[in-house]
Amino acid sequence: MGTARVVFDKWDGRYAARMKDVRSSAVRDLFAAATRPDMISFSGGMPEISRVPIDEVVAAATAALRESGCEALQYGSSEGRLALRAFVCELMAEIGVRIRPDDTVITAGAQQSLDLLAKVFLDPGDVVITEGPTYLGALQAFSAYQPRIVCIPMDAEGMRTDVLAAELEALGPRGAKFIYTIPNFQNPGGVTLTPARRRTLLELARTYDIPVIEDDPYGRLRFEGGHAMPLRALDEEVIYLGTFSKIFAPGLRLGWAIAPRPILGRFLLAKQAADLCGSAYAQLTAERYFGGTRWRRVLQDLTRTYAERRNAMAAALQEHFPPEARWTVPEGGFFIWVEMPAFLDLKSILAEAVEHGVTYVPGDAFFPDGRGRNCMRLAFCYAEPEAINEGIRRLAEVLEDRLELYRAFAAAGAVPAGPDAAAERG
Amino acid sequence: MKEKIAVLMGGRSLEREVSLKSGERVCAALTERGYRVLGLDVTPDLVSTLRAERPDAVYIALHGKYGEDGTVQELLEFLDIPYTGPGVVASALAWDKAVSKRLFVREGVPTPAWVTFTADAFKEMGAATALDRVPEVVGGFPLVVKPAKQGSALGLTKVQDAAHLPDALLSALSYGDAAIVERWIDGIELAISVLDDAEGPRVLPPVEMVPKSGVFDFSAMYTPGETDYYVPARLDDTTASEVIALAARVHTLLGCRHVSRADLVLGLDGVPYVLEVNTSPGMTETSLLPMAAAAVGMDFADLADHLVRSALDGAV
């Protein structure tokens, strides 16, 4: 009998180079184990949709169909409906950004903007500057266009502009295609870029002639502290990305991009190629939902809920976590970033955490180069306070058990002992 | 209508997703063959569901802890429900590589040199001070470090030098309380499935795995295109009969019934080394047992049907 080579994917070998790094990961399967009902999940940044008044949405969606059925079900304009863009102008004015409807395009969530901007700006090998860690979805969107991603570390004041300055100096004028930043309650870092750093970042961008993309999904979910002016309010050349996912619902897939007209023109061409136009039905529904005033009370209620959960998680971390742990306490948003001693590998420890009924996202998911394995992102947005406390307690147990093992290795000199010893271990 | 079969899948194991895939395919195949099929994700309601539904047999499509280590087998015997696959003792022996490798050595079955460490040996007894002895004991680098009790190559690392050994051990120990450090054997990776039928163990054609990354890890196992498979393996007749006899031998040695899958490496020295035996082989699109069965004209439904008949007809 002849030997047969078994082929599962007969198209293998014909896929584009940009897809070659997309692999099945063990971490993905660990998350599948996390679909069990007794699991406490700190992994997904999912809005608390149960607080959105479904009757209002039904009324808005019904009115959209009854009153504008032909528009709702027809192709629409690529830039999105004028009425919704006018509402975006109102929203932006409230945070200090004056724009006209022609300055903005409605997108399928802010995620689509990340893909389209990368498509518009990036050739393989181009440099993109991001915070490190940064939003996983941005890394995924950018990496399909094969850039070299340079990560700038953060501290309590957000992106380290001194490191950025050094990096830009090394790269030279126009040495990067754009700087991508999440200034408010950064995902996953949990820190906010200070007003002073915002100005410095913009000056540097101007000096080196590099566009800035400001991604602001969480800006309106502020629990405390003063409003920080968006970068776009300080500089009209900044590209700003907004989303309705956190102030309404991600299920509608609605967001917006604001950009200088020439960029917006290219962006629109790319969008036409991607999807011709967004869903008019979703836009009409949103127009009607935001036409009332109840959404503001809902947003207040949501923000209060997230604040309670942030408080619950911060208190639980304080109570249960080992002294070696460091974490951020964000003034808003969804995420706390935890840093453990560099010798802890939180990617493999996730297996043990899942066994103990709790999940998180290991930090290396938020870096393009495998860094961050001693870190984790904890989403406080989705679990109730009591569950948060229990989940953090379980996680602390796992970490303490691991630390005990690591201490045994360190005592024997098998691994470096101090947190500083880890850098060279990659 | 034929008998009522409960297919157990999912559960709390880290291999939950793979198990759900296996289980769903088995459910579809058994339904196609006319059985009354009950797909059950394993939860704390399992026992009450089984007692209420009273299936004629259970198909175990669980992978990993509780499904493959004897736990569910023990429970089904207590409930007096026939089930597919090896019994309690064979499952427990195969699940713990530290134990099954000891058994191989005792019975003269070649297995790569290794050493086992438990987390407690490090925490309570200072075992980390002796890691310098590891290369000498197992025969140098490269090495493979893996959890002693885990399937699907979760937590497996190939280690090229002493500097990376502690990290690999710590990683493996995140998946369980014991880890194995084993000599890496260069050669041909083989998976050899055994099915019991009326005449005894019947060995299916060996499957040869050629992972493109060089290591048959989790990703290589489950990402289509990451690994090339050849069925039957490209072996000369003498070697083929040797590895086939070896697979039958370890099947019997561990006391397996119905089914098992031995993972071997045919070393460059010509010695077939047994790495481990799986008592609940995967049944997904890319799994090795269905691949081997297909090579002898047994399609997926034939295979699932055969295993169910083994349980129903009391072929022990």
User: Could you give the count of Cα atoms lying within 13 Å of A358 in the half-sphere of its Cβ?
Assistant: 24
- What ipTM was reported for this prediction? 0.78
Q: Which CATH number fits domain B93-110+186-312: 3.40.47.10, 3.30.470.20, 1.10.390.10, 2.60.40.10?
A: 3.30.470.20
Mutation to test the B interface, candidates A348, A349, A364, most B Cβ within 10 Å: A348
**pTM recorded for the entire structure:** 0.84
Give the pLDDT score at B17.
Answer: 83
Among the partner residues A5, A26, A28, nearest to B229 by beta-carbon distance: A5
Among the partner residues A352, A404, A414, nearest to B128 by beta-carbon distance: A414
Give the pLDDT score at B315.
Answer: 47
Among the partner residues A3, A8, A408, nearest to B231 by beta-carbon distance: A3
How far does the CA of residue A158 sit from the closest CA of chain B (Å)? 31
Place of tokens 């539904």: B53
Domains of chain A as residue ranges with CATH: 21-50+297-406 (3.90.1150.10), 74-291 (3.40.640.10)
User: Could you give the count of Cα atoms lying within 13 Å of A339 in the half-sphere of its Cβ?
Assistant: 16
Measured between beta carbons, the chain B residues lying within 8 angstroms of A32 are 16-17, 20
Is residue A419 within 8 Å of residue A341, measured between CB atoms? yes
Could you tell me which of A380, A377, A283, A388 has the C-alpha nearest to residue A48? A380
Could you tell me which of A345, A258, A32, A236 has the C-alpha nearest to residue B167? A345
Tokens matching residue B65: 């802890």
B278 is catalytic: yes
Is residue A405 within 8 Å of residue A348, measured between CB atoms? no
Inter-chain CB proximity B231 and A26 less than 8 Å = no
The interface residues of chain B toward chain A in range 93-112, judged by CB-CB distance below 8 A, are none
Inter-chain CB proximity B230 and A1 less than 8 Å = no
* Chain A residue with minimum CA distance to B165: A414
Taking the C-alpha atoms of residue A404 and residue A121, their distance in angstroms, rounded to an integer, is: 48
Classify each residue of A268-301 as buried b or exposed e, where b means 16 or more C-beta atoms within 10 Å of its C-beta.
bebbeeeeebbbbbbbbbbbbbbeeeebeebbee
Taking the C-alpha atoms of residue A369 and residue B70, their distance in angstroms, rounded to an integer, is: 41
Among the partner residues B20, B219, B230, nearest to A24 by beta-carbon distance: B219
Taking the C-alpha atoms of residue B22 and residue B6, their distance in angstroms, rounded to an integer, is: 14
B238, B243, B248, B250: CA torsion to nearest 10: 140
B212 has a chain A CB within 8 A of its CB:
no
B168 has a chain A CB within 8 A of its CB:
no
Span A128-137, pLDDT tens digits: 999 999 999 9
Q: Which amino acid is at A321?
A: F
Measured between beta carbons, the chain B residues lying within 8 angstroms of A402 are 170, 174
Could you tell me which of B148, B114, B120, B12 has the C-alpha nearest to residue B72? B12
- For chain B, which residues score pLDDT lower than 50? 315-316
- In CATH, the architecture of B114-183 is 2-Layer Sandwich (3.30)
Q: Where are the domains of chain B?
A: 4-84, 93-110+186-312, 114-183
Interface residues on A facing B, Cβ-Cβ cutoff 8 A: 1, 3-6, 8-9, 12-13, 23-26, 28-30, 32-33, 35-37, 345, 348-352, 354-355, 402, 404-406, 408-409, 411-415, 425
* Chain A residue with minimum CA distance to B285: A8
Measured between beta carbons, the chain A residues lying within 8 angstroms of B241 are none
Question: CA distances (Å), A93 to each of A83, A179, A247, A425, B42, in order?
Answer: 15, 24, 16, 48, 53
How far does the CA of residue B179 sit from the closest CA of chain A (Å)? 13
B314, burial (CB in 10 Å: exposed 0-12, middle 13-18, buried 19+): exposed
Span B129-152, pLDDT tens digits: 999 999 999 999 999 999 999 776
Inter-chain CB proximity A12 and B225 less than 8 Å = yes
Tokens matching residue A380: 């406080």
In chain A, count H helices and then E strands: 13, 15
Taking the C-alpha atoms of residue A318 and residue A323, their distance in angstroms, rounded to an integer, is: 9
Measured between beta carbons, the chain B residues lying within 8 angstroms of A25 are 218-219
Give the pLDDT score at B152.
Answer: 65
Among the partner residues B174, B207, B233, nearest to A351 by beta-carbon distance: B174
User: B4-84: what fold?
Assistant: Rossmann fold (3.40.50)
How far does the CA of residue B15 sit from the closest CA of chain A (Å)? 7
* Chain B residue with minimum CA distance to A14: B225
**Strand A358-359, strand B207-211: pairing:** unpaired
- For chain A, which residues score pLDDT lower than 50? 419-426
Give the pLDDT score at A23.
Answer: 54
Question: CA distances (Å), B175 to each of A407, B42, B120, in order?
Answer: 18, 20, 14
